Amino acid sequence: MIRAAIEVSQEEGFRGRIGLHSLPQSAGFYERACGMSDLGIDGTKENLRYFEMTSEHAALFSS
């Protein structure tokens, strides 16, 4: 699913960058397995953690 999001991001001109809000039990997966950056708690979105993947990490993840 992450690869699909990266592909859509590339098709839309965002160079593979993606962002998402994570449930607490999934945060470790996005950080460790996907290499996404944890930008902390988003108080405007039910206090969920917000993660982003840079275009560089997207290229590594997809290779």
Over residues 30-43, the pLDDT tens digits come to: 999 999 999 999 99
- 17-28 pLDDT, tens digit per residue, is 999 999 999 999
pLDDT at 62: 87
Number of other CB atoms surrounding residue 18 within 10 Å: 20
Q: What are phi and psi of 17, to 5 degrees?
A: -70, 135
pTM of the predicted model as reported, rounded to 2 decimal places: 0.91
Question: 40 in helix, strand or coil?
Answer: strand
pLDDT at 63 over 90: no
